[in-house]
Amino acid sequence: MQPTAVTWAILGLLAQRPMSGYDLKRTVDRTIRHFWAASYGQIYPELKRLEDQGLIAGRSEPTGERQRRVYELTEGGRAALEGWLTSDVELVDELRDEGMLKLFFSDALPEQRIENIRAMRLSTERKLEQLNQLRSHAQEMRTGPALTLDLGITSCQSFIKWCEATEHRLTETETEKE
C-alpha cells in the first residue's frame, strides 16, 4: 500500500503534536480542508495502516470510561514526512469549480452571466471571511500554516477584484445597448 494524500496530512499534523483520530479530523476541518479535505472514512483506516507500518505509534488515553487513542510520530514517520517534503515529483493540483463551469457555458444564456459572476463572488467573499477569521487567531507570521492562510487570502482577494471589475464592465455594456 503506497502513501496517499491522507498519509501526508496525518504525518504532518502529528509532527505538530500527538492527536487522536477525532482530533485529526477537527484539525483538518479547521485548517487544510481549504486545499485538501479528509473524512473519517479515510482517517481511521489510514491510522491503522500507518501504525502497522511503524510510521506512527498509538497509545490508549481514555477520558474516564470513554476510549481514546492518541498517536504520535515515530522516527520512521518523521523520515517519511521529510522524504515527501523534499521529493520533487509533479505536484497534484486539481480543481472542481462549478462557478467557472457555469461562466464558461454562459453564452447559452447571456442575460444570466452577471448573476453567475455575482454568485462566484459572493461564495468567494464567504470563503475570504472564514480565512480572515482564522488569521485573526493566528499569532506568528512566518509559519507554514500562516503562509498558506496568507496565500489563500491573497488569492480570494484577487478573484473578488476580477469579479467586481467584470461585473462593472458587463453592466456598462448593458447600459450602452439601451
Partner DNA sequence: AGGTGCATGTAACAGGTTACATGATTAA
Partner DNA sequence: TTAATCATGTAACCTGTTACATGCACCT
Place of cell 491510522: 47
Cβ-based nearer residue to DNA, 54 or 112 = 54
Taking CA atoms, 113 is separated from 15, 108, 162, 175, in Å, by 46, 9, 14, 15
Give the binding-site size for its own copies (rule: CB under 8 A): 64
Q: Are 18 and 72 in contact (CB under 8 A)?
A: yes
Contacted by 50, from its own copies, DNA, none: CB < 5 to 8 Å by type = none
Taking CA atoms, 67 is separated from 42, 63, 70, 90, in Å, by 20, 7, 10, 40
Q: Which stretch binds DNA (CB under 7 A): 2-10, 113-121, 125-133, 138-146?
A: 2-10
Shortest distance, position 102 Cβ to DNA, whole Å: 15
- CA-nearest of 58, 57, 42, 52 to 8 is 42
Choice from 154, 164, 171, 172 touching its own copies (CB under 8 A): 154
Site string for DNA, 90-129 (x = CB under 7 A): ------x---------------------------------
Segment (H or E) for 31? none
Place of cell 461585473: 167
Helix (H, G, I), strand (E, B) or coil at 63: strand
Please report, as ranges, the residues that interact with its own copies according to CB under 8 A: 5, 8-9, 12, 15-16, 31-32, 34-37, 78, 81-82, 84-86, 88, 90-109, 112-113, 115-116, 119-120, 123, 127, 142-145, 147-148, 150-152, 154-155, 158-159, 162, 166, 170, 173
